[in-house]
């Protein structure tokens, strides 16, 4: 059966922003203004694009664009619901091995990790796409093609990223681009909401952490550079009591009324715009009938901010509001001995982080876009890069080119149009620029 979007919500899943629609930072507009003379970094990126091996890679990515699209479509037809990415991971690892990627392994969490070693010692850059989708088991993931358009759940988010990583790895290896250091290529698990960034938490919480100097996630379509990671705290909140008959047992604290008090307080929280802070009660449920005092009321709350400090502050005010609601509802019925309890379950915590736009990785990403003659805005979103950003490891999320529509919906589409190949070209140029190819 084809599940509906309502069914996803009923299953307790919630849509998470991958590469999102948040506002572009104005700084990027200035960065894109036509400069009179290229900066030294821009000039070096222009030169890198003309290096014979890079030029050969560019040409192959364009002429063999069908290969990239075939990877994107075929990987997308292997279902990868949250926590069930194994089949797609096994296939992705197989494709890395076939390309000649070295030391390909699947870690305990389920991430596929392989290595491409440079000619000389240098920094280590991780380039990742995420394997998981938001779609549950049983979703029809067959890919339909209409001209340059591919239509299937997950085709852009993030089968595009997975295909770009494969295409970049293929060209770096076959063209023998001379770079320094190590390129780690990754298909990671757990990017979407339910996964709560578990793939990246495993990588950056384990022994690899100290060896990764830079991180790029390819997620989303178009040419954006995400250098701000929106943090989010998500909770499922329960108010519980004995419940009873609405007439016969009247006079005891009502969990639903307590939750109503809490929601009124949440609705009145102050939210700043700089840094941006948001709060939302997204789902409420509970109760058994109109003439029963409910024994339980449940709500799901999402808090987000661009900075860790602002997120912690709104979180503290939320927790106080939740507790105060219990106190007030109990005070309303001072003669009742009935219990009223509050249970807060954590659904997901995503740390906030920022890679400043003065860093080498951001400037190289923008300089690469300039060389490619594409417009790349700086954006803020919630992606795998949140984890390294929070650890102050230089990290960005780059879009994979093309035009995407309807991420997280069953009619998601990816349109390659006439120049989708520029996505992998850009990513390759940025990666090689960061790894010192000259």
Q: Closer CB to Zn ion, residue 18 or residue 340?
A: 18
Residue 219 or 399: which CB sits closer to Zn ion? 219
Q: Which is nearer to Zn ion, 399 or 416 (CB)?
A: 399
Residue nearest to Zn ion according to CB distances in the complex: 18
CB closer to Zn ion out of 91 and 219: 219
| Least distance between Zn ion and beta carbon 155 (Å) | 12
The CB-of-57 to Zn ion minimum distance in angstroms stands at 25
Cα end-to-end span (Å), the chain = 53
Choose between 253 and 400: whose C-beta lies nearer to Zn ion: 400
Q: Of 158 and 329, which CB lies nearer to Zn ion in the complex structure?
A: 158
Least Cβ distance, residue 10 to Zn ion (angstroms): 23
Rounded to the nearest 5°, which phi and psi values hold at 194? -60, -30
Q: Shortest gap between Cβ of 418 and Zn ion (angstroms)?
A: 25
In the complex, the smallest distance separating the C-beta of residue 83 from Zn ion, rounded to whole angstroms, is: 16
Q: How far is the CB of 138 from Zn ion (least distance, A)?
A: 21
- Choose between 192 and 306: whose C-beta lies nearer to Zn ion: 192
Residue 371 or residue 382: which is nearer to Zn ion going by CB? Answer: 382
Question: Across the strands, what pairs with 299?
Answer: 237, 284
| Contact residues for Zn ion, defined by CB under 5 A | 18, 157-158, 219
Q: How far is the CB of 20 from Zn ion (least distance, A)?
A: 10
């Amino acid at each position: 059966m084809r599940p509906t979007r309502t069914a996803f919500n009923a299953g307790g899943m919630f849509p998470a922003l991958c590469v999102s629609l948040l506002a572009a930072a104005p700084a990027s507009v200035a960065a894109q203004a036509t400069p009179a003379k290229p900066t030294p970094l821009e000039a070096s990126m222009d030169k890198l694009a003309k290096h014979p091996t890079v030029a050969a890679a560019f040409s192959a990515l364009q002429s063999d664009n069908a290969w990239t699209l075939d990877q994107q479509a075929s990987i997308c037809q292997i279902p990868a619901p949250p926590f069930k990415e194994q089949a797609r991971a096994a296939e992705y690892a197989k494709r890395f091995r076939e390309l000649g990627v070295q030391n390909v392994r699947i870690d305990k969490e389920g991430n596929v990790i392989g290595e491409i070693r440079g000619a000389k010692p240098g920094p280590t850059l991780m380039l990742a796409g995420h394997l998981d989708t938001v779609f549950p088991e049983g979703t029809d993931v067959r890919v339909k093609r209409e001209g340059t358009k591919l239509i299937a759940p997950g085709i852009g988010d993030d089968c595009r990223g997975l295909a770009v990583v494969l295409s970049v790895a293929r060209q770096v290896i076959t063209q023998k681009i001379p770079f320094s250091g190590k390129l780690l290529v990754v298909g990671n698990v757990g990017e979407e909401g339910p996964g709560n960034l578990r793939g990246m938490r495993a990588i950056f919480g384990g022994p690899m952490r100290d060896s990764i100097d830079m991180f790029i996630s390819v997620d989303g379509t178009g040419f954006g550079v995400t250098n701000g990671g929106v943090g989010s705290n998500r909770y499922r909140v329960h108010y519980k009591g004995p419940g009873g008959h609405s007439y016969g047992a009247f006079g005891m604290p009502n969990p639903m009324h307590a939750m109503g008090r809490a929601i009124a307080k949440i609705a009145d929280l102050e939210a700043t715009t700089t840094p941006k802070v948001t709060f939302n009660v997204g789902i409420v449920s509970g109760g058994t009938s109109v003439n029963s005092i409910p024994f339980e009321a449940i709500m799901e709350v999402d808090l987000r901010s661009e900075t860790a400090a602002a997120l912690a502050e709104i979180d503290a005010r939320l927790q106080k509001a939740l507790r105060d609601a219990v106190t007030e509802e109990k005070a309303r019925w001072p003669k009742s001995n009935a219990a009223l309890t509050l249970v807060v379950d954590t659904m997901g915590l995503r740390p906030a982080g920022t890679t400043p736009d003065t860093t080498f990785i951001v400037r190289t990403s923008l300089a690469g876009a300039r060389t490619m003659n594409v417009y790349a805005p700086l954006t803020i979103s919630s992606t795998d890069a949140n984890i390294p950003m929070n650890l102050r490891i230089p990290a960005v999320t780059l879009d994979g080119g093309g035009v995407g529509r309807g991420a997280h919906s069953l009619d998601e589409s990816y349109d390659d149009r006439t120049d989708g190949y520029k996505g992998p070209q850009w990513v390759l140029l940025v990666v090689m620029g960061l790894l010192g190819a000259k």
